[in-house]
Amino acid sequence: MDVFEAVASRYSCRAFLPRPIPETTIRDIIERASRAPSAGNIQPWRIYAIAGERVEALKALLAPRMNELPKGEGGDYRIFPDGIEEEYRARRFAVGELLYKSIEVPRADKPARYRQYARNFQFFGAPVGIFFALEKSFGVAQWADIGGLLQTVMLLARGYGLHTCPQQAWVSWHRTLRAFLDLPDHLIIYSGMAVGYADEAAPINGWRSPREPLQVYATFTGFTSE
Ligand SMILES: Cc1cc2nc3c(=O)[nH]c(=O)nc-3n(C[C@H](O)[C@H](O)[C@H](O)COP(=O)(O)O)c2cc1C
């Protein structure tokens, strides 16, 4: 698989096969991903990968708590700003519509929408979960570096025929995760990620999120025509 194919074939996979992944594969992906750049090469990431019994234990820990606290523990950082501009809000709304339409859940059916959201905390059936953390003291530049690492992991996963779903949803269970992962106080989780083999037959994997045309988000000046 070349880089073009890896980028084009990555999507947020939300239904996985239970087929396990060898530890050597996940180690290799994470080790290669550390080639991702970071400002000053400080490599601000801390990674926690879990599989097998650990995944099952985390799922079992959260399943009963989802009823108690449907919105989780509140999150220790804000994912979207208040008053997000209409242009961005509309894109978020549109992708949600596509997702729920693919599984035939009408917008008004809140319990069914919640059941789908709650599948985040089952890693959508994936056999491996990865959590990406960084120092609480770090600023926007290091948070951006972690984003680059996530994408590098996701593209390398494609090289093994694997699919991924980045999962900031886990941030809403930050207290439970901190205890479960034995995360030191000075670190904060940026995102989780489900990794596994896609269930290609699942309707939720059968659509792709749209993108704006190039002219909406990019300008080009000073180029000479070929
Ligand atoms: C950092 C990050 C966190 C995300 N968290 C979630 C999540 O918790 N659950 C989920 O279903 N999708 C999550 N997504 C997936 C986005 O919704 C998705 O990337 C976007 O809609 C574009 O679709 P695509 O990834 O299929 O191209 C996340 C994406 C990123 C980059």
Does 110 reside within a domain?
no
Residue span of the structural domain in which 131 resides: 3-80+121-217
Whose alpha carbon is nearest atom 6 of ligand 1?
167
Arithmetic mean of pLDDT, 56-61: 97
- Quick one: CA dihedral 112, 16, 12, 192, positive or negative? positive
| Ligand 1 neighbourhood includes 169 CB (under 6 angstroms) | yes
Q: How does pLDDT run across 208-223, given as a tens digit for each residue?
A: 999 999 999 999 999 9
Does 136 reside within a domain?
yes
Measure Cα distances from 173 to 145, 217, 221 in Å: 23, 34, 45
Does 107 reside within a domain?
no
Does 85 reside within a domain?
no
| Ligand 1 neighbourhood includes 164 CB (under 6 angstroms) | no
Q: Decide if pLDDT at 226 tops 80.
A: no
pLDDT band at 128 (very low <50, low <70, confident <90, very high): very high
Domains in the chain, number = 1
Contact 77, 133 (CB under 8 A): no
Does 92 reside within a domain?
no
Does 66 reside within a domain?
yes
Domain CATH code at residue 181? 3.40.109.10
Most confident of 54-68, 75-89, 185-199: 185-199
pLDDT band at 24 (very low <50, low <70, confident <90, very high): very high
Does 97 reside within a domain?
no
Contact 188, 133 (CB under 8 A): yes
Cα 108 from Cα 104, distance rounded (Å) = 12
pTM: 0.97
